[in-house]
Structures are given as structure tokens and as C-alpha cells.
Chains A and B, each alone.
Chain A
Amino acid sequence: MIEIRIHGRGGQGGVTLAKILAASEHCEGNSVQAFGVYAAERSGAPVQAYLRIDDEPIHNPNQIYEPDHLIVLDPTLISPAILSGLKPGGWILLNCEKSPEYYAAQERVATFRIATIDATSIAVKNGLGSKTVPIVNTALAGAAAQLLGMNLESVIEAFDDFGFHGGNIKAAREAWDAVRVQQQAPRPGERHQQVMPHERGPGILDGNTGAAPALRTGQWANQQPVWQNATPPCNFICPAGNDVQGFLAALTEEDVNSALEILLQTSPLPSVCGRVCPGFCMTQCNRSELEGPVNVRALERYAGDHGETQISVTGQRLEKVAVVGAGPAGLSGAYHLARLGYGVTIFEAGSELGGLMRTGIPSYRLPREALDRDIGRIMALGVQAILDTRIDHHRLEQLTHEFDAVLAATGLQKLTSVDLGVDLGSGKGQVMQGIEFLDHARQGSINVEGEEVIVIGGGNTAIDAARSAFRLGASDVRIIYRRTRDEMPAIPEEVDDAIDEGIRIDFLCSPIRMRRDDGKRLLSCQRMELGEPDNSGRRRPIAIPGEEFEIPCGRVILAIGQAADFSLLPHDAVLSKTQPIETDGEAPVYPAGDLLTNEGTVTAAIGCGRDMALMLHERFSGEKLYTDPPAAETVVRADRIRLQHFDRHHRHDENVLPFADRKSSFDEVRQGLEDVVEAKRCLSCGVCNTCDRCVTYCPDGVLKRVGREIVFDYDYCKGCGVCMSECSRAVIYMKAG
């Protein structure tokens, strides 16, 4: 009788190997017996399997204590324990890439003949098992068949019973050829001592039973978990660079002050952004896969309105910086520079700070108290403001001599127009620019009561103008837009509100000219259709020949876009996000905001203002404070979130002003959240929120939390990947070990 003992780890296929070899020997006409002895049933636990081969019937039901040979699926298992009872002169078949001689040199195996086969590589190459646990048994069956003097065809015949084909057969053939056997004869010697435990062990009342035995995995684990925070999609997209996930995490603990502090690290205008940001983060929110995105904008507003925190100057610099323009980019730049200790002076053409945030956004969207709150925080850092001072080309040149640097953030000063056959600005009831209309409306210096108002355009200015006209008593307000709803740049919620307030929107409609007929003014329009996408990615509107029509109109408000006015800059200036404009004076000029990027949102302007301020700081201090944006592949998208781990919770929306109260009032429409419960809907994508699922589910207790971090004991981790698959938010990933 030949008795073979197989040592492996759960998941490697050791027991099946015993069965394969038994079936193979059966094909060769022998009596066989194969069985496994299982330890705690888990991947990676040591497993033994036994194989008896004889030409007489076998009936012994006992385990094998004095084997003729050993097969070891994992070389890290080699220990005196596995050599127990092994007969001298027997062979040990090892799964490893080393040569037999490497082991043969070791004293404790000197009395045996070593054979080696790199079954793991063969298994991986033939796609057997998973990357975590390659199934090495079919390769080892080929190698063992060679050692047992079996016909390889018997093994392949046996495979059929197990449903093993393809890669398994290839693996067995490769191993049959590749197995290496120690040439030198083993030294004669005594049988290895076998140990049978008899002593009384700890009982259940001793308090130390029931725990999984700690298993040293050594090199057996061929992949290891890594705990590393990744990039939430909201943070990745936010043009202001806000740590959206971070401030939401603070709010989940109802820590509004910390939330505000986190926001103020990147943006000085949370009360503004919490109202007028288009919500880029919300378009990317993975919670959309459940019940809709987290209402981040409203939560930012809550933090901005209710949080209290002290922002202080952190450094001290001798340089003085002139900031031209007090819009979002200028204010953001001024804020960050002031915090770093620069002497900052803002030059603003208007009589108040805020730029278009004050003059171009109606107070029903952004009340002046909210804007003043944010601006007050900036000015409290010691920023000087010189108002009613327009900086032109000449004056800018002077500033480059008076200051050490200039941040130019004049925004989009040129208003796009269209020739409707009438003079712009020629008086009441004619044609005017939306931006101007909004400024007049703000100051109460315009009256459209009873008028039929037509607004041309599809951006936020168009919507703001239309809704302001509605509030000022216009008898009818309609918006004409040459594309469709899908292409409108305006914030979708604002468009919804406009429609709800009774404003009509004529899509696919482009104005041609205004004319007077029998005392009534008419606007003739062209019907459009969508063609191929243009440079902006949106489908281009194309006129449908012959489809013209006229609509009655009182006042026409143009809101078809704005452009940067570069005339204040040096004539040969090249604008760049990475280099300032060098001037004849000492001071470099850093363009910022829409003047540089034309992105058209407060949020983007805040981000750009900060980036340019930090670039300026690097020039003077050598200190690089801005970080490069994270790589796109680090962003955790919904496909990596375990959505099934999360309960469903409906989104909390803000209360809104009743329609009846909007007709004649510029009171704020959205009234903010009453609490911050909404923040708890944040999935914390890619960022550990110390939920400790991984700690709970690790079958071997090899990970623990230290502070806010998870640490692994790789000596005992078997690389099963349970922590990774239990991590709800893709913070843990597996890397090849």
C-alpha cells in the first residue's frame, strides 16, 4: 500500500487533488481511498488530504500518520509538523518555483527526496482559480502522476469525472513535463517522530476557546488589501475645489462649524455658492443611483449661513497685491492672498463689492445679506477695497509699478448683442441687455408693469431677467431660445421655477428683427431645428427655411452671452493658467476667473481665483500650496459603491416661497434646509468614514482601526478580499502581493 498525505490550504484544491489521484489510480486498476480532513472551514486554513493506493481492497478509515510520500501545495507550510511520521526515502512534492536542491540542502528534509513544480504559475497561466487563490491541484496531479509512475492519460481520463477540461489538462501536461526531482539520493535516517496530543486543553470556561486560530500566512497570500482613501466624484468635479465629502462628513455629525471651516479652506463664498452654484457635484453624486443626489448645495448654504468659525491670517508677507475686480474670482484671490499674509487692495469699478453676484443675480436667488456675510469674512482679513474705480489699460500699467503683483479678475465685460433693426438702449419699451436690466431691477429704477416682455437667451441671465420681469409686474413674460431645454446653460431648477411661475419658453426659436405694425410692436422669429454638435458639444441650431413667424412684444431683453474685455491687459498678453503676464513694470499680472477661463459660473471663478493666488504665492515664496488634481482613475464611481449596503432615504428639499407670494416680491424663493439630516445621505464615496465593516467582517481578525485609519497585520492576512468586498465605499482594494 502507498499512503500519501497532502498538505494545502483551504481553497487550493488539495482534497480534490487526492480524489483526482485516486480516480487516476483507479483507472490504472488499483484500489483507492481519498479523503480530506478539514480545519476551520475557511479559505487559507491548513487542510490535509489523504490518499491510499493498493492492489488489495482498502478499508482502513484512519487518517494517515506514517505516509510514504507528501504533496505540499504551499511551501510555507513546511514545518516539522507536516513531516510527522514521514517514512525515510519518501518523496516530497512541493509546489514552488525553486529547484529541489534548494530544499534538499536543508537538514530536516535530508532524508527525503524533494521534487518541485511551480504549479501556481502553471495554474495562473492556464486561468485556473482566481487571482486570490489559484487552483493548483490539476497541475500537481500531473506532477504527482509522474512521480507515481502513472500514465498521464489516466489522470486526464479521471479529469473527465470531475468536469475538468481545457486549462486543467494543459496544466497537468505542463507539470508532467516540468516536474524536477532531486537527483542525489536521500540520506538514510529515522522516521520522523509523530505527535499525538493527549493533554487536556483549555475549556470553554477558560475564556479562550472559540476564537479562530491565528494562521501565519507568510508568502501564501498572493494579494494584499490596501486601505487608501480615493477621490469622491463630487470633490473631483467641484470647480471651486471644495472638499464636498469632507464638509458633508462634518455635517453628518451635526458639526456645522467644522463644516464651514472645511469649506472656507477652499472657498470664501459658501453662502453664495450654497445658493447659486449649478451643483456640479450633484450631477456626479453616486447617490443618484439610489433616490437622487445629495442636496449638497442646500447643505453648503446651511453651513455658510449657520456656521461660525474664526478665519485668521496664517502667514506674513511683505508683498502687496492689487486685485482688479471684486467678483467671485477677485474676492477668492484676495481672500487666499490675505490669509497668506499679503497686503491686498481690491479695485472695483462699482460702488459695492461683489460684481455680478450683486448686480446680476436677483435677490430672490441671492439676498444681499448672504453675499455681505461672505464678503464680510473676506474683508475682516484686512483686505482694502477701493470702490468706484475702473481700471483701464493705462491704470493697470501703473498698478504694475505700485504693487508687487496684480490679480486681474474683471470677468466678462462685453455684452453680446444682436441686430434686431432697432437701436439698443433707445428708451423705454425697446431693447436692453439683461445684465443692465437686472441692475436696474435691483435698484428699483425700471418699470415693466403691464408690459409684454420677451427675453432672448437660455442662460442664467435670461432666466433671472424673465423672473425679475415677472416680479416687476410684466403682463406676460416669455423666453425665446434657439435650442431646446437640454442645451440650456441655465441651472435646471431655475428653469423649472421659471416655468412654474408662468413664464413661457419658446424653444427652437431665434429672433430676426423687430418691427412696428399699426402701433403694435412685433418680433419676427425663425423656427430652428438641431443639427450636428458644435464646438461646445451641444447640437447646433439650424434655421428651417420658410418657417418664420411673428409674436407681439413690448420690451426685448437680450441675454445671449458675455465676453471678456482684454483691453486693459498689455497688448501682447498671452493668457495662461500656468504663467502670469510679465509686464514692463516689476509686477506680474495674473488673470483670473472668467477673464481667463470664460467658464461663466461663480464656482469656477472661485476656484480659478484661488489657483492663481496660490500660483502667485509660489512665485514669491517658493511654497507650492496647490495640489494637482487627482487622476481620473482614482475617482470612485457608482459601480464601485456597494449600493446594496445602504438604506433608502428620500432627499430633503428646501422649503420654497409660495407662488402667490412671488408675483410682487423679490423675497428669496428657496428658504434653506431646517436641519442637516440630509448630509447623512452622503455615501462617503472613496473616503473611509470609520464604519468598521471591514473590521467586523475580517474572518481572521487581522485588521484593526488606529485612529481614523485601518491597519492590517499582513503576517496573518490570507488575502481573501472579504474586507474589500465588505467596504461599502471602495476605500480598500487588493494589490498583488
Chain B
Amino acid sequence: MSLAGEANRGARGAVCGIYPITPQTEIVEFVARFPFTKGRVIPVESEHSAMAVCIGAALNGARTFTASSSNGLAYMAENVMVAAFYRLPIVMAAVNRTLGPPWNIWADQGDSLMFRDFAWIQLYCDTNQDVADSAMLAFRIAEDPRVLLPVMVCMDAFIVSHTSMEIELATQDQADRFLPLCDVPHHLDLEHPVTIGGMSFPQETLTHRLELDEAMRRVPAVMEEHRVTFREVFGREVAGDLEAYRTEDADRIFIASGSISITLKDVVDEWREKGEKVGMIRIKLFRPFPGERLRDLCGNVEKIGVLDRNYSAGTGGIFWQEIRAVLQGQGDRLVQGYLTGVGGGDVVPETVREVVRDLSQRSKAAAPIWKGIDQ
């Protein structure tokens, strides 16, 4: 997990307001331990203040990074919104941990998903390599003058955050080539004093929201552009908004995010070997939601299964809701939600096989189905 911290250092992160919480603590330890050429780590007394430090630093033009998780994110919430509404290119590593109570340290995306309407760009990573590369990419997207929005780089608690594997790290030279010096165009300037975030009447606020929307809508294209640069500098691919796998001729498509998609990919291979036409899509970019591309990839496929490691009480998985909204009105399509690994359970191949079997036999959509517990 210190990869997120490593990427931040590679980005020569200038200011880092940060407060520890399991399972994000290793990031704090990492950034606190390693000296930055220029800049500093500011220890604070709470997550709320951690984000306040980032806001202050970004408003002064600094490249900023922080990390949090679960209830720490909940406590940070007010300033999380402020960061986006101020249009500050802050990068945050969000380690997806179940919100308490009851207290639980294991993986669940409910924490970062509570910010889905806060105008943050959200990237959900599946592997260590994806975390390291996406953090680097995140700085580039956030600081792009066409965007100027903060980015959350999300990863599953422990499953990704605490797994040691071999990866390719950015060298300092590569990082410097990929990331130009940070420029926050509206940073505070004593020569030209302005007020940011003061009182605003409905008409001005409308403009503000419209601009947020326009910036968000530019993200997929900007992201694609920087992925190309990334490939040029690092010589490898970093995943974009969506990753499709064996969807071309599929009659059933399963959609997941985070580490579940790795297991899903293995199960798709199993089914393909049996001659079953199943495919999968990993959603990496959740905000803005890449609806159009998802519609294209799903084409006319009639059965879509969505595996969510999160849920919105009384409705279902949050990805499922988004996907259903995007794919609605397209024929007689079945979009079934499955709640898998909510609260941190390990989503093992057998669980995914059960999902595949269920969707294959299903002719009519039901309420989202809980896996791992007898309903």
C-alpha cells in the first residue's frame, strides 16, 4: 500500500496533510518517513484538518496528497466537498474499508462511494500496479487545466492495500517527465487578492455547478490523452475508464470493480473453456461514470450481472444502480445486482461461479441478491 505513498513521492508531492487510520496507516508512515526534495508532511489532529491542510496548500499552488479510509473519510467529509467545489487538484488515496459501527476493518467500498456526488473523480483500482500507476495518472488528470478537480484513488482494504507483490515502480526521472510542475491557476496571490468560496447567489451557484459538470464531462477524454503520455513515458499501459474482457461475442456480461474483478476474470476463463459465452467489464472510473462507453460495450447483451462490494440500504449495490440507469430502455434487458463481499468477506471463485450460474438460469430480474449469507 505504500505504493500510493511512493507514487506521491514520485510526483514530488509538495504538501501532505494526513492523519492515520487503519488500513491506510502504512501510507502515512511511508510519506512521513521519506524525505521530500521540496515540501513537507504536516501531521494533524484529525482527518477534517488533514483535508483542510491540503485545501490551504493547494490554494497556495502546491501539489497535494492525502490518504484516508472508512470513518476517517466520513469525518473528513465536509472538507472533501470543499476541495472539489474550490476546484483544487488534490489526490487522495482512499483505502476502502467498511464503515462502522459495528467496527470492521475489512474491505467495502461504501466509504468512498458516499462521496459520489461531491464532484471528485473516482478511480477504483484492482492491483498494486494499478494503484501505483493510477496515483501517478491522477495527479496529471487533476492538474489538467481543463479539469481541475480532485481525484480519489480507491483500493480494497487489505486485499490490495496490504498485499506485497512485485511491481514496476516509476523512476524519479519518469515521474518528472510525466508530471510537469504543478500549476493551480487560481492559486492565491498577494498581488492580486481575490475571495474564493464566499457568498454566492443562486444564479452564480448555478454557473459554479455547470462548470463542475462541464469539467467532469471532459475527464474521460483527458484521461485517454494522458494514458497515451503514460504509455510513452513508462512503456506500459495504465487501465482507463473501463476494462472489457471477452465481451465481443458474449451473451452474458458480468461487471465488477476493485479486486473482485480479478477473481471474476478467472471465472470467465473457466466458463469460456466450457464453451459458455461470458465476458466481463471492470469499472475503474466511477466518477464521472463512463455510461456511453459502457452502453457500447454491452451492445445488445441481454443478461448483465453486477457484483457490488458496497450497498445502499433498501436499494442495492451502488454500481448496479448506476449501470441499470445507463442501460435502461435498451430492449428487454436483465440487469441483476449481486452483493458480494459486503463487510469485507473474501469473494472466492465459488461465490463468483454461483453468480454466473444464477444469472445464466435467471429469466427475470429480482431484488439484489446477497452472497455469503443466508437471506
Give the B-binding residues of A (Cβ under 8 A). 15, 18-19, 22-23, 26, 31-38, 41, 58-63, 65, 196, 198-200, 204, 209-210
Contact between A36 and B127, CB atoms less than 8 A apart: no
Residues of A within 8 A of B159 (CB): 35, 61
Contact A210-B164, Cβ < 8 Å, known A37-B158, A62-B348, A199-B374? no
Q: Chain B: which residue is nearest A34 at the CB level?
A: B164
Q: Once bound together, how far apart are the Cα atoms of A33 and B160, in whole Å? A: 11
Cβ 8 A contact of A62, one of B101, B166, B263: B263
Q: Give the residue among B158, B162, B164, B262 with the most A Cβ atoms within 10 A.
A: B164
B71 close to A (CB within 8 Å): no
Q: Chain B: which residue is nearest A65 at the CB level?
A: B348
Q: How far is the CB of A503 from chain B (nearest CB, A)?
A: 58
B201 close to A (CB within 8 Å): no
Contact between B164 and A35, CB atoms less than 8 A apart: yes
5 A-B residue pairings within 8 Å (CB atoms): A15-B162, A18-B164, A38-B105, A59-B262, A209-B102
Q: How far is the CB of B342 from chain A (nearest CB, A)?
A: 14
Q: How far is the CB of A141 from chain B (nearest CB, A)?
A: 14
Contact between B102 and A36, CB atoms less than 8 A apart: no
Main secondary structure of the interface of B (DSSP, over half): loop
Residues of B within 8 A of A58 (CB): 165
Residues of A within 8 A of B105 (CB): 38, 41
Q: Once bound together, how far apart are the Cα atoms of A200 and B370, in whole Å? A: 12
Residues of B within 8 A of A61 (CB): 127, 156, 159-160, 163, 259, 262-263
Q: Once bound together, how far apart are the Cα atoms of A198 and B102, in whole Å? A: 19
Q: How far is the CB of A380 from chain B (nearest CB, A)?
A: 65
B332 close to A (CB within 8 Å): no
Contact A41-B164, Cβ < 8 Å, known A65-B348, A200-B373, A210-B103? no
Among B158-187, those with CB < 8 Å from A are: 158-160, 162-166
Cβ 8 A contact of A198, one of B162, B164, B374: B374
Contact between B372 and A198, CB atoms less than 8 A apart: yes
Give the A-binding residues of B (Cβ under 8 A). 22, 101-103, 105, 127, 156, 158-160, 162-166, 259, 262-263, 266, 346-349, 372-374
Cβ 8 A contact of B158, one of A19, A36, A200, A210: A36
Q: How far is the CB of A528 from chain B (nearest CB, A)?
A: 61
Residues of A within 8 A of B165 (CB): 32-34, 58
Contact between A35 and B162, CB atoms less than 8 A apart: yes
Q: Once bound together, how far apart are the Cα atoms of A198 and B372, in whole Å? A: 5
Residues of B within 8 A of A31 (CB): 166
Q: Once bound together, how far apart are the Cα atoms of A209 and B102, in whole Å? A: 8
Residues of B within 8 A of A22 (CB): 164
Q: Once bound together, how far apart are the Cα atoms of A61 and B162, in whole Å? A: 11
Q: How far is the CB of B352 from chain A (nearest CB, A)?
A: 10
Cβ 8 A contact of A200, one of B160, B263, B374: B374
Contact between A35 and B158, CB atoms less than 8 A apart: yes
Residues of B within 8 A of A34 (CB): 163-165
Known pairs A61-B259, A62-B349 / 8 extra A-B pairs, C-beta < 8 Å: A22-B164, A59-B127, A61-B156, A61-B163, A62-B263, A63-B348, A198-B374, A199-B374
Q: Chain B: which residue is nearest A50 at the CB level?
A: B163
Q: How far is the CB of A213 from chain B (nearest CB, A)?
A: 12
Q: Chain A: which residue is nearest B103 at the CB level?
A: A210
Q: Once bound together, how far apart are the Cα atoms of A651 and B19, in whole Å? A: 41
Residues of B within 8 A of A210 (CB): 101-103
Cβ 8 A contact of A36, one of B162, B262, B263: B162
Q: Once bound together, how far apart are the Cα atoms of A22 and B103, in whole Å? A: 31
Q: How far is the CB of B167 from chain A (nearest CB, A)?
A: 11
Q: How far is the CB of A273 from chain B (nearest CB, A)?
A: 51
Residues of A within 8 A of B164 (CB): 18-19, 22-23, 32-35
Q: How far is the CB of A97 from chain B (nearest CB, A)?
A: 30
Residues of B within 8 A of A59 (CB): 127, 262
Q: Once bound together, how far apart are the Cα atoms of A727 and B103, in whole Å? A: 28
Residues of B within 8 A of A15 (CB): 162
Q: Once bound together, how far apart are the Cα atoms of A65 and B349, in whole Å? A: 11
Cβ 8 A contact of B373, one of A19, A35, A198: A198
Q: 8 tightest CB-CB pairs across the interface, nearest first?
A: A35-B163, A61-B259, A34-B164, A63-B346, A19-B164, A61-B262, A33-B165, A61-B159
Q: Once bound together, how far apart are the Cα atoms of A603 and B45, in whole Å? A: 54
Q: How far is the CB of A451 from chain B (nearest CB, A)?
A: 71
Residues of A within 8 A of B166 (CB): 26, 31-32
Residues of A within 8 A of B22 (CB): 41
Q: Chain B: which residue is nearest A52 at the CB level?
A: B165
Q: Chain B: which residue is nearest A59 at the CB level?
A: B262
Q: Give the residue among A19, A23, A36, A62 with the most B Cβ atoms within 10 A.
A: A62
Contact between B373 and A62, CB atoms less than 8 A apart: no
Q: Once bound together, how far apart are the Cα atoms of A209 and B343, in whole Å? A: 15
Q: Once bound together, how far apart are the Cα atoms of A210 and B102, in whole Å? A: 6
Q: How far is the CB of A48 from chain B (nearest CB, A)?
A: 11
Q: Chain A: which residue is nearest B128 at the CB level?
A: A33
Residues of B within 8 A of A32 (CB): 164-166
Q: How far is the CB of A40 from chain B (nearest CB, A)?
A: 8
Residues of B within 8 A of A65 (CB): 348
Contact A33-B163, Cβ < 8 Å, known A60-B262, A65-B348, A210-B102? yes
Q: How far is the CB of B216 from chain A (nearest CB, A)?
A: 30
Q: Chain B: which residue is nearest A30 at the CB level?
A: B166
Contact between A204 and B101, CB atoms less than 8 A apart: yes
Residues of B within 8 A of A35 (CB): 158-159, 162-164
Q: Once bound together, how far apart are the Cα atoms of A61 and B348, in whole Å? A: 9
Q: How far is the CB of B267 from chain A (nearest CB, A)?
A: 11
Q: Once bound together, how far apart are the Cα atoms of A62 and B267, in whole Å? A: 13
Contact between B263 and A60, CB atoms less than 8 A apart: yes
Contact A204-B346, Cβ < 8 Å, known A33-B165, A34-B163, A198-B374? no
Q: Chain B: which residue is nearest A57 at the CB level?
A: B166
Q: Chain B: which residue is nearest A209 at the CB level?
A: B102
Q: Chain A: which residue is nearest B375 at the CB level?
A: A200
Q: How far is the CB of A103 from chain B (nearest CB, A)?
A: 29
Q: Chain B: which residue is nearest A49 at the CB level?
A: B162
Q: How far is the CB of A102 from chain B (nearest CB, A)?
A: 34
Residues of A within 8 A of B101 (CB): 204, 210
Residues of A within 8 A of B266 (CB): 60
Q: Chain B: which residue is nearest A199 at the CB level?
A: B374
Q: How far is the CB of A557 from chain B (nearest CB, A)?
A: 67
Q: Once bound together, how far apart are the Cα atoms of A699 and B162, in whole Å? A: 25
Q: How far is the CB of A195 from chain B (nearest CB, A)?
A: 13
Q: Once bound together, how far apart are the Cα atoms of A23 and B348, in whole Å? A: 26
Q: Once bound together, how far apart are the Cα atoms of A62 and B107, in whole Å? A: 12
Residues of B within 8 A of A23 (CB): 164
Q: Once bound together, how far apart are the Cα atoms of A196 and B165, in whole Å? A: 27
Residues of A within 8 A of B259 (CB): 61
Q: How far is the CB of B127 from chain A (nearest CB, A)?
A: 7
Q: How far is the CB of B104 from chain A (nearest CB, A)?
A: 10
Q: Chain B: which residue is nearest A16 at the CB level?
A: B164
Q: Chain A: which residue is nearest B349 at the CB level?
A: A62
Residues of A within 8 A of B349 (CB): 62
Q: Once bound together, how far apart are the Cα atoms of A22 and B128, in whole Å? A: 15
Q: Chain A: which residue is nearest B161 at the CB level?
A: A35
Q: Once bound together, how far apart are the Cα atoms of A18 and B158, in whole Å? A: 14
Q: Once bound together, how far apart are the Cα atoms of A62 and B162, in whole Å? A: 12
Contact between A38 and B158, CB atoms less than 8 A apart: yes
Q: How far is the CB of A690 from chain B (nearest CB, A)?
A: 30
Q: Give the residue among A26, A41, A59, A209 with the most B Cβ atoms within 10 A.
A: A59
Q: How far is the CB of A199 from chain B (nearest CB, A)?
A: 6
Residues of A within 8 A of B372 (CB): 198
Q: Once bound together, how far apart are the Cα atoms of A345 and B266, in whole Å? A: 102
Residues of A within 8 A of B156 (CB): 61
Q: How far is the CB of B347 from chain A (nearest CB, A)?
A: 8
Q: Once bound together, how far apart are the Cα atoms of A38 and B98, in whole Å? A: 14
Q: Once bound together, how far apart are the Cα atoms of A470 and B374, in whole Å? A: 95
Contact A204-B102, Cβ < 8 Å, known A33-B165, A61-B263, A62-B346? yes
Residues of A within 8 A of B163 (CB): 33-35, 61
